[in-house]
Amino acid sequence: MDIDQTYNGGLFSPQESEFTRFIEETRTTDRYLAETLFNITTYHERNGQERPISYRDMSVRHLGTLYEGLLEHKLFITKEETEVRVAKGKIEFIPLSHGGRLLLGQTLAAGVVYFGSDQSERKSSGSYFTPEDVVDYVADVSVGEKLQTLKADFLLQEKNNLDALAHSKDETERKSIANLIEENAGIFVREKILSLSVLDPAMGSGHFLVNVTNLIANFITEFLNEVSIYGETPTGTSYWRRWVVENCIFGVDLNPLAVELAKLSLWILSMAKDQPLSFMNHHLKCGNSLVGARLENVGVYPHSKTKKEIRQLSYFDRDKEFKFAVENAVAKAHLIAEKGSISLDDVSAKKAWLDEIENVLKIYKLICNVHTNLQLGSGISEDEYTSMINQKDVLALSAYESETFIHWELEFPEIMLKNHGFDIIIGNPPYANIPLEISRFVEQNYATYNSGDLYTLFIEKLIFLNKQSGYSGFVLPLSLTFSESMQSVRQELITVLNKDWKVASFDRIPDALFGGNVRTRNSILIGVPNNSGKNNLFTTPMYRWFAREREQLFSSIQYININEICKSGGGWAKIGSEKQVNVLSTLFRKKAPLSSAFSKTNKVNTLYFSSTAYNWLTVTKKMPPVYDLDGNLLEQTKYGSLQFETENDTWFGLSI
């Protein structure tokens, strides 16, 4: 069968990775697998006719759900006869030794392969598909805020022209001024909007990136319609989506399947009739966002007892060829960005330029691979290390070619080396223990290592990758705000200057941010530049809501400045008013603990307390009565008590 190559974007191309090469080169003679492949692409009508399934209506949300499903399921082999039981809409596989029963047609024999649920993979990777409203909120308060700031700057710059347009004397003058404004608007879109870099360092199937693409493309369309009087500039959203996808969107993920699904998601979003699929290989990468070398550290043997002098130039600063290699790579990256993907020739040219970038930086990536491997536990000596990198021994270095490290300054030199970082970084990084195989590397490279959780490493990576004037937004566990083990990451955040950190907190009952099936308590961390030379910390109360109130949740978020009460890496208070700030500030100024107001003899001034519903605490001045079925008063056993010396102390304790 002939395939129209017009829409061939390289999805699952064997040249993409080992994963896609395996798919291309592997042939199966297994009739069960062949039957499975047939069944997922074909359905049977009532008359017995077989028809191919159309996937044209599959949305990005469906791809995300499929990705989650793949993480939650694995192939297993029964070790003994096993019952297949359906309970509460779920399929359970119960071995006979664990209570399973031998039922005709519902039993698997020992040694049979079955496809079963195993949430440990998803939990161990911390991967959950983020709800639409959460993604939209994070995108709006980061990417949306940046777009509105840029628009305000443009309107201020064009104020004189806009005033002249409003007071133009005739149609000729009006058209001349309008054309000038429209020309400037086009330059603004190309130089200010399409130059934005938005990164998701743990992109999964691309949910955040898809929503950001829509947000930026819609902004461009609305902006141009607002300022283009005669409409000479293209304003269609579909037209600008393609430019946004190829210029603004960046993503990395360790899972090769996730990278392919992210490409597919963005291709579905940006497809255009009679045009090839958007070129994204230069911006969507497969690798470990957390493991890789910083250029400033390369050249010094990681285990050397001789410390590098402060003024000593790094390996890459000393290498004159590296400077030319970077300039070459950045120039080719600009060519890719400036050229549209209108024809197959355009895409071929972009692929050729990307190959040139990879070739010119290859030797330096190999050097960084060697350095990273040493920090992971590689056993090469200091002499071998020095010889390999100084002589650029290609043969020796090639042994490290297949690594999945991400050396950010080399993967995206036009962003990290020329623009000093990404404009916006957003996402929902994994919440999981730091894997043992990278723990040695993490201990040497991350100040937040003792936290034990991957998400703190992503926060630290965010700080490194985000430019000083950049915005950011991460969905994180609530432990960020209070856990003692997270003190190091809180300390890292509050030492970043020229930044406002905004932290919204969400409980898991009555409803949860990820819904009833994933009852986690969460925080949303937003970073906004302030250009004050200082940093500010803003927080919210702990939000609790019912499912029916979900639509109003994000529009009701209000932040309050808590600099006065949270000046260190200690816990961050979850409060929502100036009055609460003042109360806490007063409390923190008092050196005497609350226990100093307790009384051992006075039984009159009493507070009663009880722990209820997860982490809620009920405190009252009057013991709630308890009755039996006959209406008789019973002794209360679920409440504890605190006695105070005075009535005022009691009210003070209640206010806390």
Asked if 144 and 246 sit in the same domain, the reply is yes
Identify the pLDDT of residue 85. Answer: 79
Tell the residue number behind the tokens 């050196």, with chain if given: 591
Q: Are residues 135 and 273 in the same domain?
A: yes
For the stretch 129-139, pLDDT in tens is 789 999 999 99
Q: In the predicted model, is pLDDT for residue 434 greater than 90? A: yes
pLDDT at 123: 44
Q: Yes or no: say if 281 and 9 are a contact pair by the CB < 8 Å rule.
A: no
Structure tokens given for 222? 């609305």
pLDDT at 201 over 90: yes
The per-residue pLDDT for 311 is 53
Sign of the CA dihedral with 316 first, then 319, 325, and 326 last: positive
Region 650-654: mean pLDDT is 79
621 plus 557 within the same structural domain: no
Percent of the chain residues topping a pLDDT of 70: 87
State the pLDDT confidence band at 222, using cuts at 50, 70 and 90.
Answer: very high
Contact between 578 and 613 under an 8 Å Cβ cutoff? The reply is: no
Token representation of residue 70? 């793949």
Per-residue pLDDT of 356-400, as tens digits, reads 999 999 999 999 999 999 999 888 889 999 998 988 888 788 888
Say if residue 566 is in the same domain as residue 577. Answer: yes
**Rg of the Cα atoms in the chain:** 30
Count CB neighbours of 404 within 10 A: 15
End residue of a domain, out of 244, 269, 287: 287
pLDDT of residue 20: 66
Q: How far apart are CA 487 and CA 268, in angstroms?
A: 42
Rounded Cα distance, 509 and 146, in Å: 33
Q: How far apart are the first and last CA of the chain?
A: 74
- What SS3 class is residue 453? strand
End position of a domain, from candidates 107, 123, 139: 123
Amino acid at 6: T
DSSP code for 288: B
Looking at the domain assignment, is residue 478 inside a domain?
Answer: yes
Indicate the range of 438-442, 464-468, 533-537 predicted with least confidence: 533-537
> Does one domain contain both 116 and 130?
no
Q: Is residue 457 part of a domain?
A: no
Higher pLDDT among residues 445 and 257, named by residue: 445
- What is the DSSP secondary-structure string of 200-241? ETT-TTTHHHHHHHHHHHHHHHHHHHHH-SS--S---HHHHH
Q: Tell me the average pLDDT across 20-24.
A: 72
**Strands 606-612, 640-643: parallel, antiparallel or unpaired by DSSP?**
antiparallel
pLDDT grade for 34, boundaries at 50, 70 and 90: confident
The separation between CA 412 and the C-alpha centre of its own chain, rounded to angstroms, equals: 18
What pLDDT is attached to residue 11? 58
- List the single range of 4-18, 43-57, 223-237, 504-518 with lowest mean pLDDT: 4-18
- Asked, for residue 429, whether it belongs to a domain, the answer is no
Q: What is the pLDDT of residue 64?
A: 67
Query: What residues contact 404, with CB distance under 8 A and at least 6 apart?
Result: 254, 286, 287, 288
For residue 68, being part of any structural domain is answered with yes
How much is the average pLDDT of 606-614? Answer: 72
Is the domain of 104 the same as that of 189? no
**193 and 243 Cβ atoms separated by less than 8 Å:** no
Kindly state the average pLDDT of the residues 408-426: 96
Strand 50-52 vs strand 42-44: parallel, antiparallel, or unpaired? Answer: antiparallel
Cβ contact 117:67 at 8 Å: no
Taking all residues of the chain, what is their mean pLDDT, rounded to a whole number?
85
Strand partners, 499: 529, 535
How far is Cα 648 from Cα 202, in angstroms, rounded to an integer? Answer: 52
pLDDT value of position 66: 72
Q: What is the pLDDT of residue 120?
A: 43
Amino acid 151: pLDDT = 96
Residue with tokens 């961390």: 525
Please tell me the predicted confidence (pLDDT) of residue 1: 41
Domain count, the chain: 5
- d(C-alpha 154, C-alpha 144), whole Å: 15
Do 203 and 186 have their domain in common? yes
Q: Which of 590, 607, 631 is the last residue of a domain?
A: 590
- In a domain, residue 62? The reply is yes
Which candidate, 153, 244, 264, places its Cα nearest to that of 203?
A: 264
Q: What is the pLDDT of residue 122?
A: 44
Same domain, yes or no: 332 and 357: yes
Co-location of 316 and 363 in the same domain: yes
H helices of 92-144, where? 120-125, 132-139
Task: Find out whether 521 and 483 touch, Cβ atoms under 8 Å.
Answer: no
Whether residue 44 lies inside any domain: the answer is: no
Domain contains 89: yes
Side chain identity at residue 454, one-letter code? L
Residue 454 confidence (pLDDT): 95
Cβ neighbours around 62 below 10 Å, total: 13
Specify the pLDDT at position 616: 61
Answer whether residue 3 is part of any domain: no
Parent domain of 620: 594-655
d(CA 569, CA 495): 10
Same-domain check for residues 210 and 254:
yes
Asked if residue 281 and residue 331 are part of one domain, the reply reads no
Residue 656: what pLDDT? 67
- Residue 208 reports pLDDT greater than 90: yes
Question: How confident is the model over 288-312, as a mean pLDDT?
Answer: 82
pLDDT in tens, 144-194: 999 999 999 999 999 999 899 888 888 898 889 988 998 999 999 999 999
Distance CA 278, CA 275 (A): 9
The beta-strand segments (E) located in 365-447 are 422-427
Long-range contacts of 234-242 (CB under 8 A, 24+ apart): 238/270, 238/272, 239/272, 240/216, 241/213, 241/214, 241/217, 241/269, 241/270, 242/270, 242/272, 242/275, 242/278, 242/340, 242/341
pLDDT of 125 reads 47
Angle (nearest 5°) at CA 253 between 467 and 454: 75
Evaluate whether 81 touches 110 at the Cβ level (below 8 Å).
yes
Output the CA angle 223-228-234, nearest 5 degrees: 80
Question: What is the number of other CB atoms lying within 10 angstroms of the CB of residue 457?
Answer: 24
- Output the pLDDT for position 153: 96
Average pLDDT over residues 309-313: 61
At residue 175, the 3 state secondary structure works out as: helix
Comparing 7 with 239, the larger pLDDT belongs to 239
Same domain, residue pair 239 and 270: yes
Quickly count: other Cβ atoms within 10 Å of residue 269's Cβ: 22
How far apart CA 654 and CA 656 sit, in angstroms, is: 5
Residues 6+ apart with CB under 8 A from 396: 388
